[in-house]
C-alpha cells in the first residue's frame, strides 16, 4: 500500500491554533475534522484525500495537549479550550469560503467535542458527523457475559456477542441541523 504524504501543520499565531489544511479548488463544501484521544490531525490524511477527490475541503484541528501542540501532553485547563479553538478554525474556514457549507466531523473524544461545539452554536454548521463518539454507554451485561468477552480476547478473538440494544420505538437518532439542543440530546 502506498504511503500517504502528510500535509504540513499550519500555525495560526493570531488565533493560537495548529491545523492542517487539505484544500481543493472550488470545493463543494468544507469539513472541520476533530481527532480523538491520543491522536493528532495528520491521522485524517487518508480521509481528507478521499474528500478532496470529491471536491470537499478539509481542515484538521490539532487539539491542545496532543500532536505537536506546546501544551502538556493530554492536558487542557478546560474543555472550553477545545471549543474555542474549533470556533477559531471555523472563522478561518468561513472567511475563505463565505458561501460554502461547513460540516463538523469528530472521532471518539473528537466526536464528543464536536457534539459539544454544535450544541454551543448550531447555526454555524451545516451538519455533524460523529464517528464512535465518546458518549457514555448504557449497555448492561451480566457478570458472566463480561467474563466471556474478556476470555474471548485470549481464546477466540472472532467470537460474536449480542449487544443489549433497547428499542427506541418511534424515536430516531437523526438530529436535524436546526434542532440541536441539550434537551433533544437527552431525550434520545
Domain count, the chain: 1
Mean pLDDT on 9-28 = 91
Tell me the CATH number at 34: 3.40.50.1820
Residue-wise pLDDT tens digits, 138-186: 667 777 777 777 777 677 767 766 655 554 444 433 333 334 444 433 3
- Residue 101 domain-assigned (yes or no): yes
Residue-wise pLDDT tens digits, 39-96: 999 999 999 999 999 999 999 999 999 988 886 887 888 889 999 999 999 999 999 9
- Residue 58 domain-assigned (yes or no): yes
Name residues whose C-beta falls within 8 Å of residue 72's C-beta, 6 or more positions apart in sequence: 65
- Residue 91 domain-assigned (yes or no): yes
User: Which pLDDT belongs to residue 68?
Assistant: 87
- Candidates 138, 135, 99, 100; CA nearest to 119 is 135
How far is 162 from 140, CA to CA, in rounded Å?
11
Range of the domain at 114: 9-142
User: Which pLDDT belongs to residue 67?
Assistant: 87
Beta-ladder partners of 105? 33, 129
Amino acid at each position: 500500500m502506498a504511503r500517504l504524504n502528510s500535509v504540513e501543520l499550519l500555525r495560526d499565531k493570531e488565533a493560537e491554533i495548529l491545523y492542517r489544511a487539505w484544500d481543493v479548488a472550488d470545493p463543494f463544501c468544507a469539513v472541520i475534522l476533530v481527532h480523538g484521544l491520543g491522536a493528532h490531525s495528520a491521522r485524517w490524511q487518508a480521509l481528507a484525500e478521499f474528500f478532496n477527490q470529491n471536491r470537499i475541503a478539509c481542515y484538521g484541528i490539532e487539539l491542545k495537549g496532543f500532536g505537536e501542540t506546546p501544551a502538556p501532553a493530554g492536558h487542557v485547563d478546560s474543555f472550553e479550550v477545545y471549543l474555542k479553538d474549533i470556533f477559531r478554525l471555523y472563522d478561518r474556514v468561513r472567511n475563505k469560503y463565505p458561501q460554502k457549507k461547513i460540516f463538523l466531523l469528530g472521532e471518539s473524544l473528537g466526536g464528543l467535542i464536536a457534539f459539544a461545539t454544535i450544541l454551543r452554536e448550531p447555526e454555524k454548521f451545516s451538519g455533524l458527523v460523529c464517528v464512535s463518539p465518546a458518549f457514555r454507554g448504557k449497555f448492561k451485561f451480566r457478570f458472566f457475559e463480561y467474563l466471556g468477552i474478556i476470555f474471548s480476547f485470549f481464546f477466540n478473538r472472532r467470537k460474536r456477542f449480542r449487544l443489549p440494544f433497547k428499542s427506541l420505538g418511534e424515536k430516531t437518532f437523526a438530529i436535524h441541523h436546526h434542532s440541536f439542543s441539550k434537551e433533544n440530546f437527552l431525550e434520545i
